[in-house]
Chains A and B, each alone.
Chain A
Amino acid sequence: MHIKEERMMKRDVILVIGAILSVVASYMAYVAVHPVRGDIYFSYTHIPAALVCYLAFFISLVASIMYLKKRTRSYDMAAEVSVIIGLVYGIVALISGAIWANAAWGLYWNWDPKQTTTLILWIAYAGYIAVKYSISDVDRRAVIGAVYNVLAFSLIPLTFLSVTLWQSLHPRAQEITLSMPVKVTLISNIVAASLFFAYLFIVAYSLWSLEDRVNVMLYRHRYKRGGA
């Protein structure tokens, strides 16, 4: 009980810090800092969403590798939860990217290598969830899911390299020059988004493991009743 309360406290501290930082970062983004180019405003939501999406997929990769190594169910749950949250951030990155593309390049969807590879990545991870929920055997589902996850992650280097491998309108990271206030605002937004992700991850992971325990208890209880 004490440990649970302590964990809840830490979780809430993350949420409070994330919310305060979000308010400050939003104030900096939309009120205090005036970038030279108007479309820089898009970066305050698009870049944090995309980076958190990659972070979530990276965490799920680590969790899947750990599952394949140790066969502990908690790692499988962590991988699943991380992918679900990553998919939400991913769709936000895709939609915000399309709206930014319309403002900067004149079209929502250009089949630009960056857009296309990111969409493929998103579909691959949506496939991970579909594969996991289509297998009823818990252990088999976890193993197949973990292997699929490791394979799906190989698409992430491709999305990063897409801007150098093919002709792309999307700027490379090293090509972007930002003024110091814009940089600070962007970093604040990225940190705030990461804190929100951490909070959502902890909540979802706790919920998943609790659901799992309840299901096991329910199964044992009904089995005992049926057997008696």
Chain B
Amino acid sequence: MVYRGVFVVAIIYWTAILVLFLWLSRRLAALNARIGDLEREVVEEGDEDEDED
């Protein structure tokens, strides 16, 4: 009974840390995608400005 509890607690502890890691990684990936969109927007805008000139 005690050992099953110890095992469950250890699983919960490591899962929580892993979830934090994964959550931060996902946020980082979303941020990278956002920076990519922003860069693309800036490049497209630059091309449009050149066409107008």
Q: Which residues of A contact B (CB under 8 A)?
A: 30, 38-39, 41-42, 45-46, 49, 85, 88-89, 91-92, 95-96, 99-100, 102-103, 196, 200, 203-204, 207, 210-211, 214, 217-218, 221, 225
Contacts and interface: CB of A to CB of B under 8 A. Distances in A.
Nearest to A41: B6
B38 A221 contact: yes
B5 A103 contact: yes
Contacts of A218: 34, 38
A207 B26 CA distance: 11
Contact of B9 (A85, A96, A207): A96
B2 A38 contact: yes
Interface residues of B, number: 25
Interface in B25-46: 27-28, 31, 34-35, 38, 41-42, 45
B52 to A, nearest CB: 12
Query: Interface of chain B, helix or strand or loop or mixed?
Result: helix
B36 to A, nearest CB: 11
Contact of B5 (A91, A100, A210): A100
Given A100-B5, A207-B31, A214 B38 contact: yes
Nearest to A95: B12
A4 to B, nearest CB: 14
Given A39-B2, A42-B9, A217-B38, A91 B24 contact: no
Nearest to A211: B31
29 contacts: A38-B2, A39-B2, A41-B6, A42-B5, A42-B6, A45-B9, A45-B10, A45-B12, A88-B19, A92-B16, A96-B12, A96-B13, A99-B5, A99-B8, A100-B9, A103-B1, A200-B17, A200-B20, A203-B24, A204-B24, A207-B27, A207-B31, A211-B27, A211-B31, A214-B31, A214-B34, A217-B38, A218-B34, A218-B38
A194 to B, nearest CB: 12
B24 to A, nearest CB: 5
Given A200-B21, A204-B24, A38 B12 contact: no
Contacts of B10: 30, 45
B35 A214 contact: yes
Nearest to B34: A214
A15 to B, nearest CB: 10
Nearest to B38: A218
Contacts of B19: 88
A92 B31 contact: no
Given A88-B20, A214-B34, A221-B42, A45 B2 contact: no
